Structure 1
Amino acid sequence: MTQAQTQAQTQNRARVVVVGSGVAGLTAAVSAAEVGAAVTVVERAPRADAGGNTRHTEAFLRMRSIDAVADDFEERLLGDFMGHPDPALLVESLKDPGTWSAPLRALSVADQQYVATLAENAGPTLRWIEGHGVRFAHLATPFLTTSTTRLMPVGGGLALVEALTDAAVQLGVDFHYETTARALLLEGGSVVGVATSRGETRGAVVLACGGYEGNAELMGRYHGRGGRHTRPVARGGHYNKGEGLLMALDAGAATAGDFALFHAEPVDPRSGVAEAAIFAFPYGILVNAEGRRFTDEAPGPIDAWYERIARRVHAQTDGVAYAIFDAGASEVPNLSAAIRTDQPPITAPTLDGLAAKLEIPAEALAATVAEFNASCGQGEYLPLELDGLATSGLTPPKSNWARPLDKGPYTAYPVIASNVFTFGGLKTDDAARVLDNDGRPLPGLYAAGELTGLYYTNYTGSTSVLRGAVYGRIAGRGAAGGA
């Protein structure tokens, strides 16, 4: 091949711009490069911080094995309460998708085909990632009681980021770190690139730059005053300022997911480490700043309930609560695994002493604990399974592991609801194409990961990294073919 032919071939390669370098952005970049596209990754963070939330998570995957999703995978995602959509539109959804009306195509509900494609491609995507040097295994989790099966990359999300970044570099992907995407470039109704803080980068665009949990104004806009009571669960979330969402909305994109909610995780506000989770609260009680209980601490397995309980914490005064234990908590096997903070517990020999350290009313706390203790019944205490050891005549009840708190010393951890990622995002189809408000694909624009809307009432645990990987790969190949 002559030099001129080589130059012509290079010039004729499809060009793809990926915004973000978490698991969704990296799978998009690698998959696009593998089919011959010239790929540029635009990343706000410096190289040492790149990887978004993926870099800091353990990356739990709702899988039965590397080749099969968990048994309840599709049921949970599609069973998420999405409000009360127009039944006439739902009837219409049973017909050939080619006949769907614009309101149905753009409707903010979970798309059955999107979920089916996610389930079908989960195993093959993990095998593909495995081919790039990542190992997967069933490892220990911080959840002492569980409702589903989980797989994890050995080395967590950081292993995904490092392996996929290496693969991208070897394929010639060009990384632009400390570069912020500002706006989409449009020509004739098609997306043809991105305007960044360092100029223009042209090509089909894959938006994979996360939600808006790092943007105080957007948190206030969508979550009201309570937005100030939350913070990103890990350092990567501070880079998620929402530009991807805003620029796509400016281009006419439709939305999906619940903009009033975010994936909440109960963490110790004193800690600066990623995911300083307090998953041990089912073995004690939760009280608010007034010294009162406000929720059933143990309605079911912790992995299925921690988010909903964290939201109830978020609704308390100043968005804070306290998980309180007595000396009996030491009988729970491996309890330390469910406490991820690097800060010590607050301890005192008496409840009054604990109340003083927590700066909550001592009389109220004493009355709360006395009422709770009096409601605890007799039965076998089985801390690693649902034991039905419940309170009687208490509001709110405690449904499992209800034993009196009557043995000093007493310990406590403060708890807030941290923001793992925001639920509201862009509506995409099962080809990862961003849809407009008429439900039609916006030419040249794809999206994947936490920027896309899927969740409404409750996060289906251990699916976020997985959907980022699956739809990032689909988006990258789509952008390379449609560029």
Structure 2
Amino acid sequence: MVDLSRKFDCLVIGGGNAALCAAISARRSGASVLVLEGAPKFYRGGNTRHTRNMRCAHDAATDILTGPYTEQEFWEDLQLVTEGQTDEELARHMIRESKDILGWVVEQGVRWQPSLGGTLSLGRTNSFFLGGGRAMLNALYLTAERLGVDILYDAEVLDLDIDNGMFLSADLKQGDGRVTVRAATLVAAAGGFEANIEWLKQYWGEAADNFLIRGTPYNRGSILKMLLNKGVQEVGDPTQCHAVAIDARAPKFDGGIITRHDSVVFGIVVNKHGLRFYDEGEDIWPKRYAIWGRLVAAQPDQIAYIVFDASVRNSFMPTLFPPIEAGSIAELAGKFELDAAVLEKTIAEFNAAVRPGTFDHTILDDCRTEGLTPPKTHWAQRIETPPYYAYPVRPGITFTYLGTRVNKQARMLMKDGKPAANMFAAGEIMAGNVLGKGYAAGIGMTIGSVFGRIAGREAAQNARN
């Protein structure tokens, strides 16, 4: 049993990668630590359970990485996907710190494996967790427990007592009552508000009813809202988020990574009217996969269809749901209640515009369309080999970018611009500092690990002082 009558040095709210990195870092710095995970034990870990990899800068190839990925290249990739909407000082600080994270997480029990294949193209840039995100999470929990970190599950926080930027205590639901937990410092690592459909609808309107939530149903943004209401400065556009195209047959919540589609570059994407609406070959997939959720969200009824043929059926990583198959384009259209004549025309025009080249999905190849709007800039191949296939897709929201503003010490900043006295943040709840928009594969875990480690270390030092 956890003794809630004592005053802890550090209270960590959240139970995913960022929270555990903070808890371990604080404990290794000598602090007493209590972790409050709002989910039941089986569902602990927030979105970390569904992850596969992390993007870190490194100067040379390793056993699991095929070559160097310099700080400058990482920065250029981040600038590209965010279109410059990032805090450069914080982002460069995170990238610099990420070089140490590859070894640090191994010291906490996490193991790496060689990169996966398919359309990921991440063998040089991203490290993959052996056993996936849940295995990574279990390793961190085991280390935290061995170090003496106290952990409570089903720990719903009802209120935070904050006085002029100073955290004093948290009220916790216990059975039918509530208990007050005191701590010298607070680390908020409780995720975004993506599972709160009503909050999403404030910015997206009724379209949000058609969004699917890839991650945990427990990230409802309650801690974020409390902090913002109590004087913490916000950062980020509330409509920006990590949103990918996922299978329309996926569950409303917690479908995870196995519902994501990596097949876009091998075919075309049409809306409910049978029309293409964006360049499927704009850039390497890990730099573009996270724009497709927002693209689909902007289409009528928030639905789209990835269409391809038998020639590429086995070229990408399979998902939980098999594609819908048909012997002709007209038959395929009928299975989705699309206008067959329109879909046939769309594909005929696409095929006529394809200019042959040497296909290679790992590089920006020379297979393109000509005279077509929108174009397909790379990886354009004629769709002409039956049977034909399609996946129905909807916007799959992973996490939102509205969050708490922080400095390089992961300390929250108040609305007046001053640093909070004893409050820190890590992970998705502050990701908007780095991600103003867009996404690059694995960077969410980078943000969580780097700022979690910093937040825990700084919180422990703050508690000592």
The verdict on a shared fold, with TM-score over 0.5 as the criterion, is yes
1:232 and 2:213 are equivalent in the alignment: yes
1:395 Cα offset (Å): 0.9
- Please name the residue that 2:308 is paired with: 325
The correspondence of residues 120-199 of structure 1 with structure 2, limited to 5 A, is 120-145=96-121, 149-187=125-163, 189-198=165-174, 199=179
* Corresponding residue for residue 50 of structure 1: 44
Cα deviation for residue 148 of structure 1 reads: 6.2
SS at match of 1:335: coil
Could you tell me which residue of structure 2 aligns to residue 215 of structure 1? 196
Q: Could you tell me whether the CA contact under 8 Å between 1:297 and 1:309 is conserved in 2?
A: no
Candidates 344, 355, 360, aligned match of 1:377: 355
Deviation (angstroms), 1:144? 4.6
Question: Where does residue 405 of structure 1 map in the other structure?
Answer: 383
Asked if 1:310 is matched to 2:302, the reply is: no
RMSD: 2.3
Q: Closer, same or farther in 2 for the Cα pair 1:375/1:74, shift >3 Å?
A: closer
Aligned to 2:74: 73
* Pairing 1:274–2:256 present: yes
Per the TM alignment, residue 366 of structure 1 is displaced from its structure 2 partner at its CA by 1.2
Instruction: Give per-residue Cα distances to partners, 1:294-346, cap 9 Å, x unaligned.
Output: 1111112111112223321221111111111122224xxx5242x3x211211
Query: Equivalent residue for 1:27?
Result: 21
Separation (CA, whole Å) in 2 of partners of 1:27 and 1:146: 24
Inter-CA distance 261–224: structure 2 relative to 1 (3 Å threshold): farther
* Structure 2 CA distance for aligned equivalents of residues 187 and 26 of structure 1: 26
- TM-score, normalising length: structure 2: 0.89
Per the alignment, in what secondary structure is the counterpart of residue 60 of structure 1? strand
State the Cα distance separating 1:206 from its structure 2 match.
0.6
Matched, 1:456 2:450: no
User: Retained in 1: the 8 A contact 2:56–2:98?
Assistant: no
Long gaps (5+) in structure 2: none
Tell me the secondary structure at the aligned position of residue 179 of structure 1. coil
Residues 1:138 and 1:184: Cα distance change in structure 2 (over 3 Å): same
Residue 138 to residue 383, structure 1, CA distance change in 2 (3 Å): same
Taking the aligned partners of 2:117 and 2:294, their CA distance within structure 1 comes to 22
Q: Aligned to 1:206, which of 167, 187, 190? A: 187
Does the CA-based 8 Å contact 1:147-1:304 persist in structure 2? Answer: no
Q: Distance in 2 between matches of 1:265 and 1:322?
A: 13
Count the aligned residue pairs. Answer: 441
2:450 matched residue in structure 1 = 470
* SS of 1:286 mapped into structure 2: strand
Determine whether 1:296 maps to 2:272. Answer: no
The structural deviation recorded for 1:138 is 3.6
1:264 aligns with 2:258: no
Per-residue deviation, residues 121-176 of structure 1 (Å, max 9, x unmatched): 22323322211221224421543546961112222221221111111111221111
The higher radius of gyration belongs to 1
Cα pair distance change 1:253/1:148, threshold 3 Å? farther
Q: In structure 2, give the amino acid aligned to 1:293.
A: R
Conserved in 2, the CA contact under 8 Å of 1:62 and 1:148?
no
User: Taking structure 1 as the reference length, what is the TM-score of the superposition?
Assistant: 0.86
Residue 433 (structure 1) shift: 0.5
User: Which aligned pairs between 1:39-118 and structure 2 lie closer than 5 A?
Assistant: 39-64=33-58, 70-71=70-71, 72-78=73-79, 110-118=86-94
Residues 82-109 of structure 1: per-residue CA shift (max 9 Å, x gap) = 78xxxxxxxxxxxxxxxxxxxxxxxxx6
Measured after TM superposition, the shift of residue 182 of structure 1 is 2.3
The CA deviation string for residues 14-42 of structure 1, in whole angstroms up to 9 with x for no partner, is 52110001011001111111222221111
Q: Matched residues in 1 for 2:158 and 2:26: separation? A: 22
Aligned with residue 392 of structure 1, among 370, 374, 378: 370
Q: Cα deviations across residues 240-259 of structure 1 (Å, max 9, x unaligned)?
A: 01012111111111122222
Distance in 1 of aligned mates of 2:134 and 2:385: 42
